């Protein structure tokens, strides 16, 4: 009996395999019209697939949108960071461009002062208590800097060296309150120059005072003022500024002019120290004088000769 059932199971298995192979062969055959059972099965499977695909598609779309939103957020953060870097780079570029323009102007100024042996320097300190009076630059005796040398920017004269060490120099600006600080200067005229002295400045106007101008000479607004070179300290022709107003002095004997400086004293970074061939008048020790001063009448006498 057990042997019979074993054989029976084997027969059923073989019949089932044969039936399965027949169904597969029938299904794989090239037929245009499916049978009724196939249609029922396919329709049922299709309905179930359609029913299941909608929520799956919705969930998939939701996750894709969420992933896209997260990607957009990350990209937005990166773009904002890049934008900040761009702004910083732009500011740095503008600063470099401005500095290049100033340096280029200084190079041009060197060409015009080549006979005076210009020395480039950088302002490294400025005392808040003497902001308008003194600055310290990073060049000293090791670089050829000497006391009483003129100091200027690309725009114009700003002062002179008063104290020198091996690697630094203190520059007294034109706005100094030192009563002994005078600069021999001249107002450029079409036919004749007008000489005088830069002595102090007007705090309210923020302008230099040019005094001891011959009252018989004509001075007009917007005329250019330069160093005369008569004192033997400053070279001749260094731009100081322009005349803004002309009046008489306290005694009415000479004229006085208000001079708007050409240089910007609020922003001093790169400067040029001008070394003149002779920094002192013959017979006068430059270290013992606090002014660039020669009687303007001497110029007239020399012209007459």
How does residue 32 score in pLDDT terms, banded at 50, 70 and 90? low
- The pLDDT tens digits for 188-234 are 888 888 999 998 888 888 899 999 998 888 899 999 999 888 877 77
Lowest mean pLDDT among 26-40, 60-74, 106-120, 121-135: 26-40
Provide the mean pLDDT of the chain.
76
Q: Which of 31-40, 41-50, 72-81, 152-161 has the highest mean pLDDT?
A: 152-161
Q: Give the C-alpha separation, 183 to 294, whole Å.
A: 9
Residue bearing the bigger pLDDT, 285 or 236: 236
**115-288 CATH fold:** Thrombin, subunit H (2.40.10)
Tokens representing residue 267 in the block: 């922003």
Beta bridge partners of 30: none
- State the pairing for strand pair 207-214/157-164: unpaired
Q: Give the C-alpha separation, 109 to 127, whole Å.
A: 27
Domains of the chain: which residue ranges? Answer: 38-112, 115-288
Structural contact between residues 208 and 259, judged by C-beta atoms closer than 8 angstroms:
yes
- The pLDDT tens digits for 236-257 are 888 999 999 999 876 778 899 9
What pLDDT was estimated at residue 304?
A: 34
Structural contact between residues 135 and 123, judged by C-beta atoms closer than 8 angstroms:
yes
Residue 303: name the closest of 216, 191, 218 by CA: 191
- Check whether 303 has a pLDDT greater than 50: no
**Cβ contacts of 243 within 8 Å, gap of 6 or more:** 187, 210, 219, 220, 221, 222, 223, 225, 257, 258, 259
What pLDDT was estimated at residue 225?
A: 93
Q: How many CB atoms lie within 10 A of CB 188?
A: 15
**Cβ contacts of 215 within 8 Å, gap of 6 or more:** 248, 252, 253, 254, 255
What pLDDT was estimated at residue 42?
A: 63
Structural contact between residues 221 and 206, judged by C-beta atoms closer than 8 angstroms:
no
């Amino acid at each position: 009996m057990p042997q019979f059932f074993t054989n029976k199971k084997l027969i059923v298995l073989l019949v089932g395999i044969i039936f399965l192979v027949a169904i597969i062969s029938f299904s794989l055959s090239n037929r245009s019209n499916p049978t009724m059972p196939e249609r029922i099965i396919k329709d049922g499977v299709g309905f179930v697939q359609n029913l299941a695909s909608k929520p799956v598609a919705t969930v998939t779309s939701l996750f894709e949108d969420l992933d896209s939103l997260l990607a957009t957020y990350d990209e937005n953060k990166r773009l904002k960071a890049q934008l900040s870097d761009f702004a910083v780079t732009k500011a740095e570029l503008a600063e470099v461009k401005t500095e290049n323009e100033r340096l280029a102007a200084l190079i041009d100024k060197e060409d015009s002062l080549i006979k005076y042996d210009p020395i480039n320097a950088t302002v490294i300190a400025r005392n808040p208590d003497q902001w308008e009076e003194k600055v310290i630059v990073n060049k000293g005796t090791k670089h050829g800097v000497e006391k009483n040398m003129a100091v200027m920017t690309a725009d114009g004269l700003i002062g002179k060296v008063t104290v020198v060490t091996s690697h630094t120099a203190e520059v007294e600006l034109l706005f100094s309150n030192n009563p002994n600080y005078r600069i021999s200067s001249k107002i450029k005229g079409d036919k004749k120059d007008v000489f005088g002295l830069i002595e102090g400045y007007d705090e309210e106007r923020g302008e230099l005072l040019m005094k001891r101008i011959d009252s018989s000479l004509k001075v007009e607004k917007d005329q250019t003022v330069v160093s005369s070179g008569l004192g033997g300290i400053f070279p001749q022709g260094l731009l100081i500024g322009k005349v803004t107003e002309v009046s008489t002095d306290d005694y009415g004997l000479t004229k006085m002019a208000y001079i708007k400086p050409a240089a910007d004293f609020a922003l001093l970074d790169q400067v040029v120290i001008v070394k003149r061939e002779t920094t002192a008048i013959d017979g006068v020790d430059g270290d013992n004088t606090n002014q660039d001063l020669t009687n303007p009448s001497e110029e007239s006498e020399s012209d007459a000769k």
